[in-house]
Amino acid sequence: MDPTRADATDWRVILRGATAGLSVIVPVTILRAILDRDVTDFNNSGWVYPLFILILAAYVLAGWVAGRGAPGTPLTHGALAGLGSVVLWIPIRIVIWVVREQGQGLVSGNRAALPPGQVFGALVISVGLGMLGGIVGARGRRRADEPAASGPGA
C-alpha cells in the first residue's frame, strides 16, 4: 500500500493504540485477580463495575490513540486498535491461567478462564468502543492542527 493514500492502513498506529489499551487492561486484570483471591464473593461485590468501566475505557483509549495517529481513517484504525488490545490480551490471560490454574478449564467448564461467549463479547465491544475513541481522537487532532484564528472576524 502507498503510505501517502488517505485510506492506507498504518499498522504502526494500530499497534501503538492496541498497546495503549493493553497498558490499561493488564493492570486491571492483575488487580481483578488479586481482588478475586482476597474478596469473599467477588462476583457480587462492588469491585466488578469499576473494573469493567476501566476495561471499556481501555478500548476507547486504544481507538483514541489510533485515531489521533491516523485522522484520515479513524474508524478503521480505532476498530483495529480496540480489537488488537483484546487479541494481545488473550495470550497474557492464558499465561495467568497457566500460573493460577485452580482446576478450571481454559475455554470450558463451570468457571472457564476464557469462555467463548465472553471473548466474543469483548471482541465486539472493543471494536465498537475503539471506533468511538478513533472518532474522538481524530476530531481532537484535526482541531489541534487547525490554524488559530487571529482575531474575532478572521
DSSP string, the chain: --TTSTT---HHHHHHHHHHHHHHHHHHHHHHHHHHHHSTTGGGSTTHHHHHHHHHHHHHHHHHHHHHH-TTSHHHHHHHHHHHHHHHHHHHHHHHHHHH--S--SSSSTT-SS-HHHHHHHHHHHHHHHHHHHHHHHHHHHHHHSPPP-STT-
pLDDT digits (tens, 9 = 90+) for 39-91: 777 777 888 899 999 999 999 999 999 999 999 999 999 999 999 999 999 99
pLDDT for the residue 78: 97
Lowest mean pLDDT, pick from 15-24, 36-45, 66-75, 104-113:
104-113
pLDDT at 38: 75
Break the chain into its structural domains and give their ranges. 11-142
